[in-house]
Amino acid sequence: MVEVILDLGRQPEARYIDRSVYLNGGYISREDLQYVVSRIGAFTKDNRAGIERTLHRLSAMRNRFGDVIGLTCRVGRAVFGTVDIVRDVIESGKGVLLLGPPGVGECVTGDSLILTTNGLQPLAHLISTDLDEDQFAPIQATVFGANGFELASHAYNDGLTKTLQVTSRQGFWLEGTPEHPVLALTHTGDLAFKRLDQLKLGDYVAIQRGQHVFGTETRLPSFAFTRRTNARDGVVPLELTEDLGRFLGYLIAEGTLSFDNSVSFSNADPDVQSDMINLTEALFGLCLRRHLYQGRWNDKDFRLFSVKLRRFLEHLGLTRGRAASKRIPSCILTAPKPVVTAFLQAL
């Protein structure tokens, strides 16, 4: 058998190399076509799909409304012996370059977070900045994969190209090339790879949890500040401690850097207020003061007036903006477990 043809309003037809046979069962209805479509993989933009764990492939014909009105189901066959022509090259131990048509590359953007032996790091931090477009380069990075930690040997720069961003209902997101695969749940409840451009609303995508892998970095990036004559000086720490992690957690949760010369914090819990006051004095030698808000004093708004502290926090990755735009500072992503724990407890 070569293929099976299912066209709306016609009898199903099986085609062999030397003949065609109409199958019993009446004429194809829309329900018949929908039954088949619901049990196969997602169609690509060129109306092609496959059946998981097989070499069979299907192509769809649609009307102008996008409804499937015909299916061609081609029987897939494994062809044996073709690898023999390159076996000597493969077994020689030399490098082999495999070329394919456009669409075989799989890339994610440089800000994608990768779990390494030193915590979460943006992909761009693992790759040399000298890597030119359309070039490979060796790297030495141990990353967490499907089977635990594995050694990544090379990186590739795809340059400027079309990307898609997928966002889950819980706010997890990934941006990559349309052909980049992710693990998704199939209609049978199994996990299978799907390209980003094949995902649709309502699909379930796998997110790995429970690795319990943390970083080891406590040294903060060097910070330089030119003091103005009327600026409150204060001090800035050189090491990332649990106290600083907790302070950053409080600010991410209920603080803001909206003003150029100060840091604002708002919380009505007396215990949190007391802890924040003590942390501010111990870490920076500054006083957290109650703030006059809209002409009135209240019991929850506080302000730290220090340009140096404001610049230091910005240097660590905190930014001005609304709650939806806040991000976890990069120093926390590569911090040891006790620091990460203190940060999360303060959120």
Q: Let me know whether 70 and 113 are in one domain.
A: no
- Residue 162 domain flag: yes
**Looking at residue 103, what is its pLDDT?**
45
Q: Domain boundary at 198, 222, 250, which?
A: 198
Residue 261, phi-psi category: left (phi > 0), alpha (psi -120 to 50), beta (remainder): alpha
Q: Domain boundary at 74, 93, 128, which?
A: 74
- Residue 209 domain flag: no
In the β-sheet with 135-145, what is the strand arrangement from edge to edge? 119-122, 113-116, 135-145, 148-157
Contact 128, 115 (CB under 8 A): no
Q: Domain boundary at 74, 89, 117, which?
A: 74
- Residue 234 domain flag: no
Please name the residues in contact with 156: beta carbons below 8 A apart, sequence gap of 6 or more: 105, 107, 135, 136
Which of 34, 21, 7, 14 is closest to 187 using CA atoms?
Answer: 34
- Residue 213 domain flag: no
Q: pLDDT in tens for each of the 347 residues of the chain?
A: 888 999 998 889 998 888 888 887 788 999 989 888 888 877 887 788 877 767 788 888 888 888 889 999 888 766 666 667 667 766 776 666 665 554 455 688 888 999 998 999 998 888 888 888 878 788 888 888 877 888 888 888 888 888 999 999 988 889 998 888 888 988 888 888 888 998 999 999 988 888 888 999 999 989 988 877 666 667 899 999 999 999 999 999 999 888 888 899 999 999 999 999 999 999 999 988 887 766 777 788 898 888 889 999 999 988 877 777 788 999 999 999 999 999 999 99
- Residue 226 domain flag: no
Q: How far apart are CA 16 and CA 216, in angstroms?
A: 64
Residues paired with 116 in a beta bridge: 119, 143
Range of the domain at 47: 3-74
Residues paired with 318 in a beta bridge: none
Q: How many helices (H) and strands (E) does the chain have?
A: 7, 18
Q: How many domains does the chain have?
A: 3
Q: Let me know whether 57 and 111 are in one domain.
A: no
Residues 140-154 as b or e (16 or more Cβ within 10 Å = b): ebebbeeeeeeebee
Residue 206 amino acid letter: A
Q: How far apart are CA 321 and CA 149, in angstroms?
A: 36
pTM summary value = 0.65
Q: How far apart are CA 32 and CA 29, in angstroms?
A: 5
Residues 208-236 as b or e (16 or more Cβ within 10 Å = b): eeeeeebbebbebeeeebeeeeeebebeb
- Residue 83 domain flag: no
Q: Let me know whether 255 and 323 are in one domain.
A: yes
- Residue 212 domain flag: no
Torsion over CA of 231, 235, 241 and 242, rounded to 10 degrees? -60
Contact 314, 236 (CB under 8 A): no
